[in-house]
């Protein structure tokens, strides 16, 4: 589960970024944030590029719950990358500077949620309320820390070899056997998307998020 999230983040975050940038600018809108619980100890606070393990309940304006990660589906908390519109913009804005163990209520206007179109059971122009608990915060695959960890020879570029070594390590860390064919495919996939200037390496600039539009 985590492995898939981490790896698919690496592959798909840029795509998400591109997709989201192509949409028109929405009017300025704010998320209303209420802190429901803040732990006494806070080792680090969430920032763009982190991955957060979250439990979330979602409510319509009339108070009806439309989703609960605790009661629906696999009833598991989910890993979510902050700042890349993996979920909705309202989450990217409303889940910054959080501690592990913190619980917040977010009231998200439609412009930062599912907008004019709505989605699935979310009707158009819905203001949504979320109760979100952050259970864990980790360095995202796009963080400065991850880049340094991957850049074995410290030349500020990621070679195919370095990316492959990283994938192998991540697999092992999460208890999966390394799979050379699979890693080769993933590396090819990652380079196709991330090596913008096709010079055979991923520069730190190519690797790092841009969050201009947030
Ligand atoms: C609350 O709002 C949602 C979305 O508009 C709707 O589907 C649901 O039926 C409403 N529930 C009640 C009790 O009015
Ligand atoms: C390794 O990955 C390839 C490609 O995804 C897959 O077809 C193959 O079954 C995997 N091998 C093992 C031993 O898991
Ligand atoms: Ca390197
Ligand atoms: Ca490059």
Position in ligand 1 atom list of the atom nearest CA 62:
1
Instruction: Name beta bridge partners: 32.
Output: 107
Residue 62 CA to ligand 1 centre (angstroms): 6
Residue nearest to atom 11 of ligand 1 (CA): 64
pTM, to two decimals:
0.61
Answer yes or no: are the C-beta atoms of 46 and 95 closer than 8 Å: yes
Instruction: Kindly list the protein residues that place their beta carbon closer than 5 angstroms to ligand 4, a single-atom ion.
Output: 195, 197, 199
> Looking at residue 161, what is its pLDDT?
97
For residue range 146-186, what is the model confidence (pLDDT) as tens digits?
A: 788 899 999 999 999 999 999 899 889 888 898 999 999 99
| Residues flanking ion ligand 3, Cβ below 5 Å | 151, 153, 155, 157
**Sign of the torsion formed by the C-alpha atoms of 108, 29, 98 and 10:** positive
**How confident is the model over 176-189, as pLDDT tens digits?**
898 999 999 999 98
Query: Which residues have C-beta atoms less than 6 Å from ligand 2?
Result: 179, 181-182
For residue 60 and ligand 1, the question of a CB distance below 6 A is answered with yes
Considering only residues 207 and 111, tell me which one the structure prediction assigns the higher pLDDT: 111
Q: Is the pLDDT of residue 200 over 90?
A: yes
Contact status, residue 129 vs residue 105, Cβ threshold 8 Å = yes
User: 151 CA distance to ligand 3 centroid (A)?
Assistant: 4
Q: In a mutational test of the pocket of ligand 2, which residue from 179, 187, 189 has the highest number of ligand atoms less than 8 Å from its CB?
A: 179
Ligand nearest to the CA of 151: 3
Q: If you ran DSSP here, which 8-state letter would residue 194 be given?
A: H
Ligand 2 center to 11 CA (angstroms): 18
Mean pLDDT, range 101-112, rounded to an integer = 97
From residue 169, how far is each of 141, 172, 181 by CA, in Å?
A: 13, 5, 15
The DSSP output letter for 155 is S
Query: How many angstroms does the Cα of residue 184 sit away from the middle of ligand 2?
Result: 11
How far does the centroid of ligand 3 lie from the alpha carbon of residue 79, in Å? 28
Length of the chain as a residue count: 214
């Amino acid at each position: 589960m985590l492995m898939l999230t981490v790896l698919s983040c690496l592959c798909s975050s840029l795509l998400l970024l591109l997709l989201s940038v192509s949409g028109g600018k929405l009017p300025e809108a704010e998320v209303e944030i209420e802190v429901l619980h803040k732990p006494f100890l806070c080792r680090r606070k969430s920032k763009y590029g982190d991955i957060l393990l979250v439990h979330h309940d979602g409510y319509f304006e009339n108070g009806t719950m439309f989703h609960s990660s605790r009661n629906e589906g696999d009833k598991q908390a989910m890993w979510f990358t902050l700042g890349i519109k993996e979920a909705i913009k309202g989450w990217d804005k409303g889940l910054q500077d959080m501690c592990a163990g913190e619980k917040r209520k977010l009231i998200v206007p439609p412009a930062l949620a599912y907008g004019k179109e709505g989605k699935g059971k979310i009707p158009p122009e819905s203001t949504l309320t979320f109760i979100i608990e952050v259970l864990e915060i980790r360095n995202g695959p796009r963080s400065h820390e991850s880049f340094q960890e991957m850049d074995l020879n410290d030349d500020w570029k990621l070679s195919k070899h370095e990316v492959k070594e990283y994938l192998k390590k991540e697999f092992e860390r999460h208890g999966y056997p390394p799979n050379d064919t699979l890693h080769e495919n993933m590396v090819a996939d990652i380079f196709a998307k991330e090596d913008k200037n096709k010079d055979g390496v991923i520069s730190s600039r190519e690797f790092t998020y841009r969050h201009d539009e947030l």
